Structure 1
Amino acid sequence: MKHLLVPAVLLALAGCDRPPAADTPAVVSPSDALCRPTPNGRDITGCYLTLTSSRDDRLVSVASPAAAEGQIHEMKIVDGVMSMAELKDGLALPAGEAVVLRPGGDHIMLLGVKQPLKAGEQVSLTLTFEHAQPLGIRAVVGQPQRPGQ
């Protein structure tokens, strides 16, 4: 009986390190969601957060009742000039990797903000993914920390 117990335990433990099966739904975990207050007289703002997916996935769209439109953007420097552009195909979320959306990098833009966003308020966002179920989150309105703070 002892000889059968060891192989059974080893087989059970071997399954613990396996990646999720391809048919296992992705689960995306958000953290640190923050949207900047809208500048005076402007109806746009940036939102930032960290997303971690249980399997390869893609953030494909963002919506908010606080804005006419949400877009996923990237910022990059080409020939010394910083430019911002919408990621039409969305943002890749590699399995198990924390993808940080931050000022100066990938981020969410809210366009046509309906009412000025003030520090301390919250903004509802709906994130839609290629595989995972849509995710409703609430982002705090405030100023992002500068790197090193």
Structure 2
Amino acid sequence: MSDVFSSPAQPSPSVQSCTPNLPGFTCGLDATLRVVSGKWKPLILYFLAQGGPTRYGELRRSVRDVSDKVLIQQLKELEADGLVKRTDYKEVPPRVDYSLTALGHSLAQALVPLCTWGTEHMAEVSQVYAERATWTRRGP
């Protein structure tokens, strides 16, 4: 069985970009993970990629179970990282919407295979999580 993360002596073409050559990052994957780190950032990117500018309330309903504080914090981080654009229309009542920048769109496209994998394996993942839940109920 071959390992997708092959040894540095013979890097696979698909993993070639994960060689340590970027200042401050161990590899391209490290850079990507730093940008999308946070439980909700990939979902925020996913929902913003689904359409045009999105109002905060719509985004809040789409990204279920996230608190307002965390959603606002993660939107600010995505904006600071150049992935999300916040447009404040300076109106009363306040009207603000969020959209992806070109960099944000490129990252959202990179997440598509992960979304596909999750869709294709949702039943197996659900089963694993159901089994894992019984472990915590039984105790050590």
TM bucket (normalised to shorter chain) is under 0.3
Give the structure, 1 or 2, with the largest relative contact order (CA under 8 Å, sep 6 or more).
1
**Which structure has the bigger radius of gyration?**
1
Structure with greater strand percent: 1
Richer in helix (by share): 2
Give the TM-score of the pair, scaled to structure 1.
0.20
Q: Give TM-score scaled by structure 2 length.
A: 0.21
